[in-house]
């Protein structure tokens, strides 16, 4: 495993000068690259290094640093090794190259990231809507999207239920039990 | 020239669809010329909700990612958290986890028997197999306290040890199921309807299968022997003896044969676990979850579920007690969208649900 990892790191470093590697004590390697390098490094890993299987594409929102981190996870069936390729993109203008010509299924992941984080993949051919329907708000998976506030603004209690009773209070009245301490803060 | 193609909406309300999704079909006569998978009927924002909860509270959501087989999702999440923290799991817990995963696989395949057969109008198989699945659910009830949503595997090990007499109960159920599988062979695999309708339908291109991201029984049905249990052994799979069956042609029949043989292998694994399980601790206790922070970083753990590779990506910022990001990779994410759209072109309208079930698509996993 050690030799394979060293070989991969050497070859990647010689081809992609901006790649910063990180090794783990299990079968995993990490490469951080600039966003311009993404299509070429992924294509290189797939075609030359036998990382044929695209496991996952995901995005982490680092709100404090004003950046998105997009992570591509590849798996090599021959070397039995995971490679993470990660890049940071500007949160205000999130643009990344589309890679669905390398792996077709990447299209689905990109559609999700586009909708949930607002990342624009250049040249992504996809129908407008994926999971959300008639959505006009900001991309909902961003950290600054407040679900509670959105729900309070959008949904309301059905009228005619103002006299609805608290189940706990009804039970207490009927049985004379005391409300446990932890439940007191939820009391209406 | 007059447009010949008609648009048909297959789902979301349709007995032949695997869950809350729709396939928009363009048909010419009886033949499909274009298929588009449409999802969005079941989005529950689980991953957003998980960011609002601590590392342990997410388990009530995790088991609902894919209802027929929830344990691989729990296991991959728990293992990703353990990888991130570097937490050791006791040996006994690893054996118990393997047993739970294999029981879940048996349950999922029995469920699949019913679904696949019902898509061809062979409803008897479903009546039997769902009934037999209940015996597996009885085991889960005895072990975890719940039949469907177990929330049993968690970071550090499992939630509780075997109850008294559980080993005998497992062996008894396995004996019963093993005998019963022959009946399914007679009922489903000997059926002329199934043979005629499954052979040569929904063929996955063997050369492209890995590049397309096909995993699980659909991949092995093409004759490619890849299984995360042997490729990247997790828990104690490297200490157990089992075969990963493969098919030949990549059609529905091959996939069905793979699943048929895999149930037998799963029963074999469960028996080995009962034989080999060591005594000792079953849980490496985690700190108070309200104050439990994980080191900054991320991890991805993958598990071989009945439908293929299921994985969980978790990221922590090192300060908060909540995940910064939790993202599931489901097998259905590829199977139900890009692969399905491809396989349906040229197929018959009557074959749509048959192909969907043979791929093991699970819409809740797509939308989360």
Q: Tens of pLDDT along B181-232?
A: 998 888 888 889 898 888 888 888 888 888 888 998 999 988 888 888 888 8
Chains A, B: CB pairs < 8 Å: 86
Give chain B positions within 8 Å (CB) of A55: 300, 302, 309, 311, 329
Q: What is the DSSP letter of A179?
A: P
A128 to chain B: nearest residue by CA? Answer: B38
CB contact under 8 A, A54 and B213: yes
Residue ranges of E strands in chain B: 6-10, 22-28, 31-38, 153-154, 157-158, 297-305, 308-316, 325-329
Structure tokens, B173: 């159920």
- What local confidence, expressed as pLDDT, does residue B106 receive? 93
Kindly tell me the sign of the dihedral angle through the C-alpha atoms of B29, B35, B36, B37: positive
pLDDT tens per residue, chain B (368 residues)? 566 788 888 878 777 777 788 888 999 888 899 888 888 888 888 888 898 888 888 888 888 888 888 899 999 999 999 988 888 899 999 999 999 999 999 999 999 888 888 888 888 888 999 999 999 999 999 999 888 898 899 898 898 888 888 999 999 999 999 999 998 888 888 889 898 888 888 888 888 888 888 998 999 988 888 888 888 888 899 899 899 999 888 889 999 999 999 999 999 999 999 999 998 888 888 888 888 888 988 999 999 998 888 999 999 988 888 899 999 988 888 888 888 888 899 888 888 888 988 888 888 888 87
Closest Cα in chain A, distance from residue B302 (Å): 9
CB contact under 8 A, B212 and A27: no
Q: Say if residue A188's pLDDT is above 60.
A: no
Q: Tens of pLDDT along B99-124?
A: 999 999 999 999 988 888 888 888 88
Is the preceding omega at residue B366 within 30 degrees of 0, hence cis?
no
Q: Say if residue A155's pLDDT is above 70.
A: yes
Out of A104, A129, A141, the one facing B40 most closely (by C-beta) is A129
Question: Total domain count for chain B?
Answer: 1
Q: Answer whether residue B1 is part of any domain.
A: no
Residue A118, chain B, CB below 8 Å: the answer is no
Out of A27, A56, A129, the one facing B232 most closely (by C-beta) is A27
B338 Cβ contact list (under 8 Å, min separation 6): A104, A105, A107, A108, B212, B213
| Domain range annotation of chain A | 2-158
**Which option is the CATH number for A2-158: 3.40.50.300, 3.40.710.10, 3.40.50.2020, 3.30.460.80?**
3.30.460.80
Give chain A positions within 8 Å (CB) of B329: 55-56, 73
- What local confidence, expressed as pLDDT, does residue A173 receive? 82
Task: Identify how many contiguous H helices and E strands chain A contains and give both numbers.
Answer: 6, 7
Write b or e for each residue in B6-29: b if 16 or more Cβ atoms lie within 10 A of its Cβ, otherwise e: eeeebbbeeebbbbbbbbebbbee
Closest Cα in chain A, distance from residue B127 (Å): 34
Give chain B positions within 8 Å (CB) of A109: 333
Using the structure block, give the residue that is written with the tokens 């189940």.
A167
CATH number of the domain where residue B72 is located: 1.10.645.10
- Nearest residue to B336 via CA among B36, B25, B10: B36
Domain that holds residue B280: 6-367
A164 Cβ contact list (under 8 Å, min separation 6): none
Band (pLDDT 50/70/90 cuts) for residue A25 is: confident
Instruction: Quote the CA–CA distance of B214 and B334 in Å, as a whole number.
Output: 7
Residues 137-176 of A with CB under 8 A from B: 140-141, 143, 147
Q: Answer whether residue B165 is part of any domain.
A: yes
- What local confidence, expressed as pLDDT, does residue B3 receive? 63
Out of A58, A104, A140, the one facing B325 most closely (by C-beta) is A58
Closest Cα in chain B, distance from residue A66 (Å): 14
């Amino acid at each position: 495993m050690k030799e394979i990892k060293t070989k991969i790191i050497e070859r990647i470093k010689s081809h992609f000068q901006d790649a910063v590697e990180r090794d783990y004590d299990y079968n995993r390697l990490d490469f951080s690259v600039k966003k311009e390098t993404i299509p070429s490094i992924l294509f290189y890993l797939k075609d030359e290094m036998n990382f044929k299987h695209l496991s996952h594409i995901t995005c982490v929102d680092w709100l404090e640093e004003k950046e998105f981190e997009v992570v591509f996870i590849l798996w090599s069936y021959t070397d039995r090794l995971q490679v993470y390729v990660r890049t940071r993109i500007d949160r205000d203008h999130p643009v990344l190259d589309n890679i669905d010509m390398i792996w077709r299924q990447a299209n689905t992941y990109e559609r999700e990231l586009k909708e949930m984080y607002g990342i624009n993949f250049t040249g992504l051919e996809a129908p407008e809507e994926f999971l959300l329907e008639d959505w006009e708000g900001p991309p909902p998976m961003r950290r600054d999207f407040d679900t509670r506030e959105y729900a309070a603004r959008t949904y309301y209690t059905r009228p005619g239920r103002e006299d609805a009773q608290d189940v706990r209070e009804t039970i207490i009245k009927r049985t004379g039990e005391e409300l446990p301490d932890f439940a007191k803060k939820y009391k209406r | 020239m007059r447009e010949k193609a008609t648009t048909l909406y297959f789902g979301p309300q349709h007995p032949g669809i695997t869950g809350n999704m729709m396939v928009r079909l363009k048909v010419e006569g009886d033949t499909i010329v274009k298929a588009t998978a449409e999802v969005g009927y079941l989005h529950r924002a689980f991953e957003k909700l998980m960011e609002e909860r601590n590392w342990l509270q997410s388990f009530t959501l995790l088991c609902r990612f894919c209802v027929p087989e929830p344990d691989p999702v729990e296991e991959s999440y728990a293992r990703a958290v353990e990888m991130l923290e570097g937490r050791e799991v006791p040996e006994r817990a690893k054996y118990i986890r393997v047993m739970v995963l294999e029981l879940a696989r048996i349950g999922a395949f029995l469920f699949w028997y019913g679904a696949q057969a019902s898509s061809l109008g062979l409803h008897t198989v479903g009546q039997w197999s769902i009934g037999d699945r209940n015996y597996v659910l009885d085991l889960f009830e005895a072990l975890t306290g719940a039949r469907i949503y177990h929330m049993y595997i968690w970071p550090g090990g499992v939630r509780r040890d075997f109850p008294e007499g559980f080993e005998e109960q497992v062996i008894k159920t396995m004996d019963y199921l093993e005998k019963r599988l022959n009946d399914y062979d007679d009922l489903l695999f000997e059926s002329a309807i199934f043979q005629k309708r499954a052979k040569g339908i929904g063929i996955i291109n063997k050369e492209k299968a890995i590049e397309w991201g096909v995993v699980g029984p659909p991949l092995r049905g093409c004759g490619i022997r890849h299984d995360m249990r042997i490729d990247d052994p997790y828990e104690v799979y490297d200490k157990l003896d089992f075969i990963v069956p493969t098919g030949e042609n990549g059609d529905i029949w091959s996939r069905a044969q793979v699943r048929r043989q895999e149930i037998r292998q799963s029963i074999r694994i469960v028996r080995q676990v009962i034989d080999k399980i060591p005594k000792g601790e079953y849980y490496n206790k985690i700190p108070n979850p309200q104050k439990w922070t994980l080191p900054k970083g991320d991890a991805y753990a993958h598990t071989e579920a009945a439908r293929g590779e299921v994985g969980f990506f978790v990221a922590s910022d090192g300060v908060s007690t909540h995940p910064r990001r939790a993202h599931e990779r489901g097998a259905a994410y590829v199977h139900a969208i890009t692969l399905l759209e491809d396989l349906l072109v040229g197929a018959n309208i009557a074959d749509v649900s048959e192909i969907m079930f043979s791929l093991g698509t699970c819409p809740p996993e797509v939308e989360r």
